[in-house]
Structures are given as structure tokens and as C-alpha cells.
Amino acid sequence: MIAHERRERTSADALATHLPGSIVASSSGHCWKDLSVRIFRRPLEEDSVIVPAVPEPLIVWILSGSVVLEERELGGEWTANQIGAGDFFLTMSNTPYELRWRAMSDEPFEPMHVYLSLPLYERAVKDVWGEAGTTRPLREVSGHSDPVLSMFLGQLREELVTSHPPSALFVQGIAQSLAVYLARNYTDTSARPLRHLHRAGLSAFTLRKITDIMERQLEKGIELERLARAAGMSPFHFSRQFKKATGFSPSQYFIRMRMAKARLLLRETNRSVIEVGLAVGYGSPSHFAQVFRREVGVSPTDYRR
């Protein structure tokens, strides 16, 4: 069984490090200040992943692939959904949960994650419900389809993938429309409104900026001072704020990113174990195997079988 370190909470933008796979496309720049959009390629099969609670609204929209995805509260009963392109998940969870999935075809499994900032969602709640300073929790949705939601998400995908540069006016218009649509149609009316959700650590925009730098440096390594400069902080303050936002120190987070990339390469390419180690920054095969076993729970060779 693969070993997973449990984290109770994380930010929506930091959720990427908890799930296996690679980033296919990622939003960046001032156009995307109120939301973040990322397209991932996930492995076709995953035995068990612990997903921390995410206080920010997160939509996962399936772009391609057909999988049976199972989810449960920790220690609870599994609930299965067969999902395909156009289906979506919506979460604003207060508790961690567990996922596993298996593909029903050889088609790549590619979900798109859309993270809405809490200030944007709170403005939408105020506009729809007239409640300043409060946040209405969203209902948890698993494997449903919604043509209107798909229209908004499809427009964001097109702007991310095909428009260079993207239009800030267009992106912000879609983000606001999406937030209002969620506030109108997916708020949990049975739940008590929450006042001023706790925000800790780096902002989503800064965190995404830092993790993008890390993603580009998987093969070469990172320097704490460079990350701190990018965040506009001292190394000491940056390290503390980064851990508040993600639950990990910068070096721990970076190792998890490397291992996630290594798992993808081992599962979905024919590269040798040595080549995979080199691709994620380990010049010594024995060191790579040691770190992989410590983080994943099995050797790279056993993981590939």
C-alpha cells in the first residue's frame, strides 16, 4: 500500500501537491487575480489519496477520460461514481476525505481545476443574499453535469489554452458570472452562514506563483532565497507563511512535487528508473530510490509493476 502523510487542511491552490499527476496548463498573470485555472493529467489508476479540507471554492471539471472514482470520509464507506467528459465536482470541504479511481479506457484522464478566491465568492454571496461579511458554504457535488456551468468552464479553458495573451476583462467577467451562479444555485441553504473564514499563510496568487517556479525547477532544484524573493519576504517569514498555507515546509513540498512527477513518469512512460530519477533532479539512483520509498512507501521498481 502507498504511504500517505495526512494533512487536515490546505488551500485550494496547494491541493495540487496532494494529488498525483502533472500540470498540462496553468493560468498566470494579472488576468487571473480572482481565480486560478489548471489542467492536469492524472494517472489512469490510483489506489488511495488523502485529500485535505479545502476552504476555498474548488470546481473540478472533467475534460477527457472515463473513470470510476470512489470517495469516502476517512474511515467511512466508499461511494462510487462513473464519470466522463463534462462531469464536475464541487467542494468547499471542512473535513479531509479519501479518493481512489480506475480508468475505463485508455483515453488520458484530464481534469481542470478552477479555484475561486474567497473575496470573489464572498462578494457574490453579498450580491445574491445581501449578507456582508459572511460566506454561505457550497454544497458538495460529485460527478454531476450542468450545461450552464460547463459553458462558463469551457470559456475559461479556451481563454487559458488558445488566447495569448488572455483578456483580463473577459476572464474577470466569467469569474464574476461563475461566482454568482454558484452562490445562486449551489449554496447549502441548510448550513449556517460562516463569518470571515480564516485565511492563513500566503495568498492563493502568491502560492501559485511559488509553486509554478518549483514546477519549472524539478530537475535542477530550488533555493529558498529565490522563492522568498519571489514572494517579497525574508526567507524565515516566507517559510513560516508557506507552511501555514500548505502544511509543509518549502523543501518538503518540493520533494512531494518531485515524487508526484516521478510516479507519473513511472506509470505512463517507458523511461528507466534511472532516467526518471534524473528527470526529477536525482543524479544518484540509490538516493532517488531511498527518497521514493520513504515518500511513497514502495521502491520505484515495485511501484511500476
Give yes or no on whether 1-199 and 201-305 have one common fold. no
Range 1-199 has CATH code 3.30.565.10: no
Map out the domains of the chain as residue ranges: 1-199, 201-305
Length of the chain in residues, anyone? 305
pLDDT in tens, 31-82: 888 888 999 999 999 888 877 666 678 899 999 999 999 998 877 889 999 9
Are 27 and 38 in contact by the 8 Å Cβ rule? The answer is: yes
87-96, 132-141, 281-290: range with lowest mean pLDDT: 132-141
Q: How far is CA 252 from the centre of its chain?
A: 17
* Mean pLDDT of the region 93-99: 76
Alpha helices, DSSP H, located in 8-146: 118-129
Sequence-ordered list of residues with C-beta below 8 angstroms from that of 302, at least 6 positions apart, any chain: none
CATH class of 201-305: mainly alpha
pLDDT for the residue numbered 132: 57
Collapse the DSSP code of 212 into the 3-class scheme (helix H, G, I; strand E, B; otherwise coil) and give the result.
helix
pLDDT for the residue numbered 16: 60
**Could you tell me what percent of the chain has a pLDDT over 90?**
41
Angle, in degrees to the nearest 10, between helices 250-268 and 285-296: 100
pLDDT at 197 over 80: no
pTM score over 0.75: no
Lay out the sheet containing 67-73: strands in order across: 45-51, 97-103, 67-73, 79-83
